[in-house]
Amino acid sequence: MHDDENKSREELLAELRYFREIAESYDASDSKSIDFGLNKMDALNVLHNIIENVPSHVYAKDRSHRFIMCSNSTARDLGQRRVTDILGKTDLDLHPEERALEYMADEKKILETGEPMVSKVEKVLGPDGEERWSFTTKVPLRSSAGSIIGILGVSQDITRIKQLEDERDGVIEDLRLALSRIKTLKGLLPICSSCKKIRDDEGYWHRVEQYIHDNSAASFTHGICPVCAEEMYGEFGIKQKKDSSDE
């Protein structure tokens, strides 16, 4: 069992202050340059600024799943006023039990296998209790000797992206349903040579207009052709026929 697992929150905070004092007392003039010409103090300052200002959640936990570091955004979105308010706590202190146990199970697997969890889509609760979506990666946190001492996590809020995806899926489903309602008439239709009614698959006879209306996307508007107008209305029908041909 690791010693950190038996330490209280106050002890962890004391250790954190101790390590900060060591870093702040580091003699920058004697340190060697590292990547991009930064000395160790500069590198620590860069890391501090990243953690303090990135909108993504950045955090680290020990082997007992207790927070030992987190970004301001992490503390804020978990309903804490300051970063120090979250240190020493676990997800059980910050989330509903079922969800917290799921997070801890993922982390336990990482601690045991050393394999990272990459780009997992998770449900999370915002500070207002609203359910949100997060894109999370967790990797083993190792000591200078290479042993796994905890986990390092980065989570990005993707709630808006999920909302857009849901809206898109809704539109696609609406289109699919609309297409399924469009009926196409094809094949041979049994029609009466006298009354012109159409027989359906169950043996019932229907007026042409009603049958086509029920079995296609077409609707009828009624008028009268010139030939029928002449037959039905005589001279008035002939005039209608002439007016139609002039047009």
Domain count, the chain: 2
Q: Is residue 98 part of a domain?
A: yes
Question: Has residue 234 got a pLDDT over 70?
Answer: no
Query: Which pLDDT tens digit goes with each residue over 134-159?
Result: 889 999 999 888 999 999 999 988 88
* Cβ pair 15, 23 in contact under 8 A: no
Specify the pTM. Answer: 0.55
Q: State the residue range of the domain holding 207.
A: 182-246
CATH number at residue 72: 3.30.450.20
Q: Are strands 148-157 and 131-142 parallel, antiparallel or unpaired?
A: antiparallel
Token look-up 């990666």 returns 137
Strand, coil or helix: what is 130? coil
Strand, coil or helix: what is 121? strand
Query: Which pLDDT tens digit goes with each residue over 30-66?
Result: 444 444 455 666 666 777 777 777 778 899 999 999 9
Neighbour tally for 58: CB within 10 Å: 20
Domain finish residue from 112, 127, 159: 159
Strand, coil or helix: what is 177? helix
Token look-up 């002890």 returns 11
Task: Please state, in angstroms and rounded to a whole number, the distance separating the CA atoms of residues 215 and 183.
Answer: 6
